[in-house]
């Protein structure tokens, strides 16, 4: 019922910037947290950034000072602003919402992933 659609991925040179967007559609009762994860080839999926109740944020040490997570709750959207990109940031990025579709029905929902490639 809930679908997350990501956009903004692509190829960029080292030092460049990208802004990822994630839009959720469907019946949403309450959003508890929004997060961005990434998975590079041969590596486990890792949490990049998260925002809880629109107040508390957490970042992986590897992206602190370079990435910023934000949200527009009224639009059911999350964003990840990435700057000073490095080749090691290359990965498939996934958005993840912790939300309830109705009172007492809470779950995690995932986007399909968007490729970010930092090279040349």
pLDDT in tens, 70-83: 999 899 999 999 99
- Looking at residue 120, its pLDDT comes to 87
Contacts of 39 (CB under 8 A, 6+ apart): 45, 46, 91, 92, 94, 113
pLDDT in tens, 14-36: 999 999 999 999 999 999 999 99
Please tell me the distance from the alpha carbon of residue 116 to that of residue 28, in angstroms, as a whole number: 28
Q: Quote the mean pLDDT of the chain.
A: 96
pLDDT at 93 over 90: yes
Query: Are the beta carbons of 110 and 3 closer than 8 angstroms?
Result: no
Query: Are the beta carbons of 2 and 109 closer than 8 angstroms?
Result: yes
- Looking at residue 1, its pLDDT comes to 84
Report the Cα–Cα distance between both ends of the chain, in Å, rounded.
40
């Amino acid at each position: 019922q809930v679908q997350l659609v990501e956009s903004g991925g692509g190829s960029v040179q080292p030092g460049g910037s990208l802004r990822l967007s994630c839009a959720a559609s469907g019946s949403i009762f309450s959003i508890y947290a929004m997060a961005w994860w990434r998975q590079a080839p041969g590596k486990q999926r890792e949490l990049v950034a998260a925002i809880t109740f629109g107040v508390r944020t957490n970042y992986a040490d590897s992206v602190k000072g370079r990435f910023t997570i934000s949200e527009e709750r009224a639009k059911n959207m999350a964003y990840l602003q990435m700057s000073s990109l490095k080749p090691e940031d290359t990965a498939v990025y996934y958005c993840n919402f912790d939300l309830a579709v109705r009172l007492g029905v809470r779950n995690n929902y995932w986007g399909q992933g968007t490729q970010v490639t930092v090279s040349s």
